[in-house]
Amino acid sequence: GADLANMVNEAALLGARREQDKVTMQDFEDAKDRVLMGPERRSLVLSDKEKRNTAYHEAGHVLVARAMPDADPIHKATIIPRGPALGLTSMLPIEDRHSYYKAFCLAQLRVFMGGRAAEEAVFGEYSSGAANDIKQATKIAHSMVCQWGMSELGPISFGTDTEVFLGRDFVKERDFSEETASAVDRAIHTLLEKAYADAQDIVTRYKPILVALAEGLIERETL
C-alpha cells in the first residue's frame, strides 16, 4: 500500500510539473520507473561509444527474453541512465509469482547473459556493464543448486542457514565435504556457462534483429 501511495504521489508531482490539470497514464508509467529504478540522470553525458554499447547490451536482453518462451514479457528497454545503471530493461510478469519453476529459472539465466553476449557478438569484447547481470545470474544459479535441487546433483540442500561470527564477518557453516563443495561449484559453473552459450547462440542467430533493436534504442532512447 505504501509503495502504491508513493507511486501515485510521484505521478501527481510529475503531472503538476508538466502543467497538466489531470494525471495521465504516462505520468504513472514515469512514476513507476522513478520509484523502481531511481530518477533519470539526464545530466550524465555518455560518449557515442558508451551509448552504442549500452544500446546493444539492452537489445541483447530484449532479444534473448523474446526468444525464451518461459521468460517474463519485456515491458520496456531504455538507454537513459537511472541510478547506477546506464540502461535498463524491465520485464512485467503476467501474474504474481510465489514459487519458481526450473524452466523459468533457466530462462532468467539466459536473459541476464543476453547483454554481455550481445556486446561480444557485435564488438568482440565486453564491458563492466554486465556486472549486476552476472551477480544476479550467479545468485539464481547458486539457489538452483544449493537450495532448490534444480541441478544434476539432485534434490539435496547444500549448506545451512547457521552463521558464525568470525572477527569482522559472518561466515555460513558448511555441512559437506570439500569434494561435495567442488561438485557444487562445478554445477553452478555448468548452469552459467550453458546459459551464456545459449545467449550467444540466440544473439548470433538473430543478429539482424539485434542490430535493428539497438539502432532503434540509439534513435529513440526508450522502446
pLDDT in tens, 98-117: 888 999 999 999 999 999 99
CB 64 within 8 A of CB 117: yes
* Mean per-residue pLDDT, 2-28: 92
Per-residue pLDDT, averaged over 10-23, amounts to 93
Give the separation between CA 135 and CA 128, rounded to whole angstroms. 12
> Structure pTM?
0.82
d(Cα 27, Cα 7) in Å, to the nearest integer? 10
Provide the pLDDT confidence category of residue 175 given band limits of 50, 70 and 90. Answer: low
Q: Tell whether the model's pLDDT for residue 173 goes beyond 80.
A: no
Indicate if the pLDDT at residue 48 is higher than 90: no
Residue 170 host element (H or E): strand 169-172
Q: Which of 40, 97, 67 is nearest to 210 (CA)?
A: 67
| Nearest residue to 44 (alpha-carbon basis) of 80, 78, 14, 76 | 80
Q: Which three cell numbers stand for residue 68?
A: 525464451
- Span between the terminal Cα atoms of the chain, in Å: 29
Q: Which residues are the active-site residues?
A: 58
User: Which region among 68-72, 97-101, 119-123, 192-196 has the lowest average model confidence (pLDDT)?
Assistant: 97-101
Per-residue pLDDT averaged across 174-190, rounded? 83
Cell of 84: 547506477
At 200 the pLDDT is 96
Cα angle for residues 74, 41, 75 (degrees, 5° grid): 10
With 70 as the cut, is the pLDDT of residue 218 above it? yes
- Please classify residue 206 by burial: count the beta carbons closer than 10 Å to its beta carbon, then call 0-12 exposed, 13-18 middle and 19+ buried: middle
Per-residue confidence at 6, pLDDT binned at 50, 70, 90? very high
